[in-house]
Amino acid sequence: MIDITLPDGSVRQYEAGVTSLDIAQSISAGLARNVLSARVNGIIIDANRPIEEDASVELLTWNDQGGKETFWHSTAHLMAEALEELYPGVKLGIGPAVENGFYYDVDTGDDRTISSEDLPRIEEKMLELARRKVEYIRRPVSKSEAVTYFTEKEDPYKLELLDRLEDGSITFYTQGNFTDLCRGPHIGNSGAIKAVKLMKVAGAYWLGDEKRKQLTRIYGISFPKAKELKEYLDLLEEAKKRDHRKLGQELELFMFSEKVGAGLPMWLPKGTQLRERLINYLKDRQENAGYQQVTTPHIGKKDLYVTSGHWEKYGADSFQPIKTPREGEEFMLKPMNCPHHCEMYKFRPRSYRELPLRLAEFGTVYRYEQTGELHGLSRVRGFTQDDAHIFCMPDQVKGEFLAVVDIVKEVLGMIGFDDVTAQISLRDPATPEKYIGSEKNWASAEQAIIDACAEIDMKTVTAYGEAAFYGPKLDFMVRDALGRQWQLGTVQVDYNLPDRFELEYIGADNQPHRPVMIHRAPFGSLERFTSILIEHTGGKFPLWLTPEQLTILPISEKFNDYSREVLAELARHDIRGSVDDRNETIGRKIRDTELKRIPFMLIVGEKEVENGQVAVRVQGEGDRGAMTVEEFVEFFRTQL
């Protein structure tokens, strides 16, 4: 018998060889019908794979992201099978699940193409295959057998992937007439896939290498119920209306220029006002919490990032080093602020009496993203992090961590995000090579986060494989007005960088000790945060953040001077706005102001001038009647 520990902490005994599906069946038949895969000791596996020893088991359904990813990965295999039937001789690359759906990279050959017009035909074939309700069958194979199979199939991309795999770690998955090189997991059978929509066709370089052949990437999404697909497509239509790239241009918040460079945003005056208000709000909050503001350069010597480990992990895919006239001297555009802050800590000897030391910086960093991955403000090559690094003693970690969580919760609440989940992001046990540092340091850091999270008043989930390369973290996942989930703020516990930079403090025992480093960024990056904020609000920002809070609309030019006097008086009350003195009808001015999502319109005509008033209209609500300037100021304050 083996012990199976469930997420609620309960322990059940089963015979060795029990499957997650068996466990689900022992709980309820309904649960068993809905299980798609299972997380066993932190690793997601097929629900029908035997469990031979004591394990922690989490049963994954469509309501879990891990369950969705299993479902979507299985649909990617279904699409590959359909493509092989429709396009004989097609060569397959990779086909993973992504955040919303899946894709498969394929090589159709030099004489064939797949366009968006072909997608309905592929969808129809996929659903035909799904209705056969064939099982997804896992089979371990030797490397030589796998090489023989894909050699005979003339599939060069799979053979290249096999070169990187060790014998004894290779598995095939087969459904129907299709077999793929895959480590899984997959759903039980294709009959669960009831609705499919292929979204778009794009180009993608093989393995993301711009020097390799460009393949055809087909994106899609699938659902266990047809009505869920319809709801998703309706959501996409609403999302198009809220697209931050579209609204950012309409509201004159930011722009891009090909001459400046792709992925390098430029903030226009109104966008800069919004950005500065976000910065100033957090600066005030940080100052009250004992943070000290610092400034570091936009570049650093390559050796700095070799020491930190960033060069080893990301150097090949980052902006390449900048050479100086001096032989052998190389600098890099700053990809991270933390190495600079480590050097600041080393500026002079530190005593335990100085700790915790909290250094904060709105620091702009630069990372090279593939052109095809760039997306408005949400995926850029230059962005500003609301970064801070706390250097503290081990017994201070928990208190500092919880204080950071309080700041993040306050910031997200103030902005209007009230559905927040804290994701405990830990190592992937199956890929230890992705991380730097000792097992001891990792164990200490992960336990520190787990212990602290036991005391926070938030929903929490655990995600394996989502840790940073140098330490585990707590990511704050917010759900926007359309129900989409985004990762925003983060707090990370790091025992590794203090080791790599040989940071020390003199303890009460007069001996040197290693500090612990906490990384935190409530917004994450100002660019990505703003993109999510625009789409969450549809461009109707909280009043305190809105760049232009009102527009004064004179009915004719003879009321322009009075309008400017009103604007000047409102400015003395810290109310921001402008006068629309265009030679247009008042109806046109009102329509244009509504489209700009400006919260208040103050209309000025002869009657208003005579009575020292303004006629007030509220965005989306209509007339509120005439008010004096003083009355409007009081009304405005009630809306903050």
Cα–Cα nearest to 616, from 585, 570, 584: 570
- Please check the confidence at residue 470 and state whether its pLDDT lies above 90: no
Over residues 204-213, the pLDDT tens digits come to 999 888 889 9
224 cis-preceded (ω within 30 degrees of 0): no
Marked catalytic residue, from 39, 313, 427, 519: 519
Please give the Cα distance from 247 to 269 (Å, whole number): 15
Cis peptide before 269 (omega within 30 of 0): no
Computed over every residue of the chain, the mean pLDDT equals: 93
**Angle, CA 440 vertex, CA 438 and CA 441 arms, to 5°:** 70
| 3 state SS for 90-105 | CEECCCCEECCEEEEE
Average pLDDT rounded to a whole number, residues 219-247: 94
What mean pLDDT do residues 358-377 have? 92
Tell me which H or E stretch contains 145.
helix 143-152
Nearest to 75 by CA among 191, 166, 248: 191
- Neighbouring CB atoms inside 10 A of 623's CB total 11
Residue 261 counted as domain residue = no
Residue 338's pLDDT is 94
Q: What is the pLDDT of residues 386-435, one digit of tens each?
A: 999 999 999 999 999 999 999 998 888 888 888 888 888 888 877 788 88
- Asked if the structure places residue 42 within a domain, the reply is yes
- Catalytic residue selected from 387, 475, 480, 580: 387
**Residues 76, 57 share a domain:** no
Full DSSP string of 275-308: HHHHHHHHHHHHHHTT-EE----SEEEHHHHHHH
On whether 375 is known to bind a ligand per the annotation, the reply is no
Q: Is the pLDDT of residue 590 over 90?
A: yes
- The CATH code of the domain that includes 175 is 3.30.980.10
CA distance 501 to 342: 7
Core vs surface per residue 583-612: b (16+ CB within 10 A) or e: eeebeebbeebeebbbbbbbbbbeebbeee
Residues 57 and 117 in one domain: no
Pairing of strands 550-554, 600-604: parallel
The helix (H) or strand (E) run that includes residue 249 is helix 244-250
**Could you tell me if residue 262 is inside a domain?**
no
- Please classify residue 398 by burial: count the beta carbons closer than 10 Å to its beta carbon, then call 0-12 exposed, 13-18 middle and 19+ buried: middle
Asked if 421 contacts 459 with a C-beta cutoff of 8 angstroms, the reply is: yes
Query: What pLDDT score was predicted for residue 137?
Result: 96
Which residue, among 295, 117, 107, has the nearest Cα to 216 in the 3D structure? 107
The pLDDT-based confidence of 458 (bands split at 50, 70, 90) is: confident
Q: Is the dihedral of CA 614, 620, 621, 622 positive or negative?
A: positive
- Amino acid at the residue 339: P
**Residues 155 and 78 grouped into a single domain:** yes
Radius of gyration of the chain (CA): 29
Q: Does 206 lie in the same domain as 190?
A: yes
Does 436 have pLDDT greater than 80?
no
Residue 286 pLDDT exceeds 80: yes
* Nearest of 389, 399, 402 to residue 359 by alpha carbon: 389
Residues 49 and 70 in one domain: no
8 located within any domain:
yes
139 Ramachandran zone, left/alpha/beta (phi>0; psi -120 to 50): beta
Answer yes or no: is 454 within a domain.
yes
User: For position 429, what pLDDT does the model report?
Assistant: 77
Give the residue from 490, 506, 537 where a domain finishes: 537
Residue 474 lies in domain:
268-537
Token representation of residue 467: 């840790």
Q: Compute the average pLDDT of residues 522-534.
A: 94
Catalytically annotated residue among 68, 302, 341, 367:
367
Cis peptide upstream of residue 356 (ω within 30 degrees of 0):
yes
CA distance 581 to 262: 36
Helix (H) or strand (E) holding 150: helix 143-152
Q: Is residue 611 over pLDDT 90?
A: yes
Catalytic, out of 46, 138, 338, 613:
338
Instruction: State whether 463 and 608 are in the same domain.
Output: no
Tell which of 239, 257, 287 closes a domain. 239
Residue 34 has pLDDT above 80, yes or no: yes
Burial (Cβ within 10 Å: 0-12, 13-18, ≥19) of residue 261: exposed
Average pLDDT on 462-474 reads 83
Across 62-76, 263-277, 308-322, 398-412, least confident range = 308-322
The pLDDT tens digits of the residues spanning 156-191 come to 999 999 999 999 889 999 999 999 999 999 999 999
Told to judge if 298 belongs to the known catalytic residues of this protein, a careful annotator would answer no
Report the distance separating Cα 309 and Cα 437, nearest Å: 10
E strand or H helix at 533: helix 526-537
* CA-closest candidate to residue 426, choices 455, 484, 380, 469: 469
Residue 459 scores a pLDDT above 90 = no
pLDDT band of residue 585 (cuts 50, 70, 90) is: very high
Query: Which of 445, 500, 435 has its CA nearest to residue 472?
Result: 445
Burial class from Cβ neighbours inside 10 Å (0-12, 13-18, 19+) for residue 284 reads exposed
Question: Which residue, 346, 331, 251, is CA-closest to 299?
Answer: 331
Is position 543 within any domain? Answer: no
pLDDT of residue 182: 95
Same domain as 150, residue 21: no
Query: What do you get for the CA distance between the two ends of the chain, in Å?
Result: 62
In terms of domains, do 86 and 212 share one? yes
Q: By percentage, how much of the chain surpasses pLDDT 90?
A: 78
Span 361-371, average pLDDT: 92
Q: Please tell me the distance from the alpha carbon of residue 495 to that of residue 449, in angstroms, as a whole number.
A: 12
**Model confidence over 71-83: pLDDT tens digits?**
999 999 999 999 9
- Distance between CA 35 and CA 125 in Å, rounded? 26
Q: Are residues 38 and 83 in the same domain?
A: no
Residue 434 annotated as catalytic: no
Would you say residue 464 has pLDDT above 90? no
Better-scored residue on pLDDT, 506 or 494? 506
Look at residue 106 and give its three-state secondary structure.
strand
Tokens describing residue 117 = 């017009």
Tell me: do 153 and 8 sit in the same domain: no
Give the single-character DSSP code of 116: G
Residue 248 placed within a domain: no
Instruction: Indicate if 230 belongs to the active site.
Output: no
| Count of domains observed in the chain | 4
DSSP single-letter state for residue 227: H
Each residue of 96-154: pLDDT tens digit? Answer: 999 889 999 999 988 899 999 999 999 999 999 999 999 999 999 999 999 999 999 99
Longest Cα–Cα distance of the chain, Å, equals 93
Q: Which of 175, 286, 385, 492 is catalytic?
A: 385
pLDDT of 252 > 90? The answer is yes
> Does the residue 255 lie in any domain?
no
Per the DSSP assignment, residues forming a β-bridge with 601 are 551, 617
Q: How many Cα atoms sit within 13 Å of 518 on the Cβ side? A: 30
Of the candidates 389, 427, 536, 597, the residue annotated as catalytic is 389
Q: What is the pLDDT of residue 615?
A: 95
Residue 82 near residue 218 (C-beta atoms within 8 A): no
> Which tokens belong to 604?
């000025």
CATH of the domain at 493: 3.30.930.10
| pLDDT at res. 372 | 80
Alpha helices in 251-393 (DSSP H): 269-288, 302-308, 310-314, 338-345
Q: Considering the candidates 91, 158, 409, 473, report the single residue annotated as catalytic.
A: 473
| pLDDT band with cut points at 50, 70 and 90 for residue 254 | very high
Q: Does residue 389 carry a catalytic annotation?
A: yes
186 is in an annotated binding site: no
Which pLDDT score, from 0 to 100, does residue 435 have?
83
Domain boundary among 493, 517, 537: 537
Evaluate if residue 373 carries a pLDDT over 90: no
Tracing tokens 């520990």 back to the chain, one arrives at 5
- CATH value at residue 591: 3.40.50.800
User: Residue 96: its pLDDT value, please?
Assistant: 95
Q: In the predicted model, what is the mean pLDDT of residues 471-485?
A: 87
pTM: 0.77
pLDDT at 413: 87
CATH of the domain at 43: 3.10.20.30
**Statement to judge: residues 486 and 572 lie in one domain:** no
342 annotated to bind ligand: no
Does residue 564 sit in the same domain as residue 521? no
